[in-house]
Amino acid sequence: MSDGARASIIDGKATAERLRARIGAAVKRLKADHGLTPGLAAVLVGEDPASEIYVRNKGRATEAAGMASFTHRLAADSDQGALIDLVRSLNTDDSVNAILVQLPLPDHIDADRVTEALDPAKDVDGFHLINVGRLSAGVGGGLVPCTPQGCVMLLKDALGALAGLHAVILGRSNLVGKPLAQLLLGENCTVTIAHSRTRNLAAETVRGDILVAAVGRPALVKGSWIKPGAAVIDVGINRMEGVAGKSRLVGDVDFDQAVTVAGHITPVPGGVGPMTIACLLRNTLIATAAQAGLPAPEI
């Protein structure tokens, strides 16, 4: 952008509210037509304050959508076997259609082992290797990680078809960067993944018609790193000290600089974050329908 123009703001909060309303309507139809109430079980190990807040918010959103919410708490010193036993009992509980194990887990627990104990059909975060494999192979029918799914929805809302666009993703985590790359390949983008060992990051990022930052480094991405007119999705959530001892959230993109260069940009907060929860509800609904042998609901 030039001549003092500013990027249009991608309003993730509003998009997520609309999606949640559509999910709520689909839940009502599922109840009326098939007597089914989707159920989401969250498992929390220990007392990490941020995880407590996430799980509480997810529970509220689940109930607001007309779904059943269950929370299971285990002490921080619980052993891995107890957690896996709980996961297995939820796998066979018919009132539970979706299970999430809140990360991070305490150091003595191997998160991969726990994820592999999940029934892939109830793996609402899409982390089980079966779901990872389905996404990588592009065969469909799996559950897709919520944050990358939310990013793609925001991009399609802002840009329409994404085919042929060059997408640069900053960050290669299993949670965000890698699944997002698969989703954007599925949308026929040309995809570059850059990361902590990439040489000359800015030379890569400036090529992106789409630039997604998922690194966890406050304001890493400067205005000069962005192709003029690009769509910028800021996944980062970094808690910084604010005024009067209050904390504030900052993304991975220097918003004040980026907004003068990009064509579209997500704010932090109010961008990707709300979409993550909405996509969790969407996955819960999709999982419930699939388990009942019903077609994927229209949402």
Q: Per rule CB under 6 A, is residue 238 in the interface with ligand NAD?
A: yes
Task: Report DSSP state, residue 245.
Answer: G
Nearest CA-CA partner of 210 in 174, 271, 264: 264
Q: Per rule CB under 6 A, is residue 215 in the interface with ligand NAD?
A: yes
Q: Per rule CB under 6 A, is residue 192 in the interface with ligand NAD?
A: no
- Nearer to ligand NAD by Cβ, of 119 and 177: the residue is 177
Contact 146, 125 (CB under 8 A): yes
How many angstroms separate the CA atoms of 134 and 139, rounded? Answer: 5
156 a catalytic residue: no
Collapsed DSSP state (helix, strand, coil) of residue 158? helix
Q: Per rule CB under 6 A, is residue 51 in the interface with ligand NAD?
A: no
Alpha helices (H) in 138-271, listed in sequence order:
146-159, 177-186, 201-205, 255-258
Q: Which two tokens stand for residue 291?
A: 């388990």
Q: Could you say which residues in the range 195-214 bind ligand NAD, by CB under 6 A?
A: 195-196, 201, 214
Task: Name the one range near ligand NAD by CB under 6 A: 51-59, 236-244, 259-267, 283-291.
Answer: 236-244
- Nearer to ligand NAD by Cβ, of 66 and 274: the residue is 274
- Nearer to ligand NAD by Cβ, of 5 and 240: the residue is 240
291 a catalytic residue: no
Contact 10, 273 (CB under 8 A): no
Beta strand ranges found along the chain (DSSP E): 8-9, 39-45, 68-74, 98-101, 166-170, 190-194, 210-213, 231-234, 238-241, 247-250, 264-265
Task: Name the one range near ligand NAD by CB under 6 A: 90-98, 108-116, 269-277, 282-290.
Answer: 269-277
- Nearer to ligand NAD by Cβ, of 106 and 218: the residue is 218
Q: Could you say which residues in the range 147-186 bind ligand NAD, by CB under 6 A?
A: 147, 170-173, 175-177
How many angstroms separate the CA atoms of 89 and 70, rounded? Answer: 13
In whole angstroms, how close is the CB of 271 to ligand NAD at the nearest point?
7
102 a catalytic residue: yes
Question: Could you give the residue numbers annotated as active site?
Answer: 58, 102, 125
Applying CB under 6 A, the residues found at the interface with ligand NAD are 147, 170-173, 175-177, 195-196, 201, 214-217, 220, 235-238, 272-273, 276
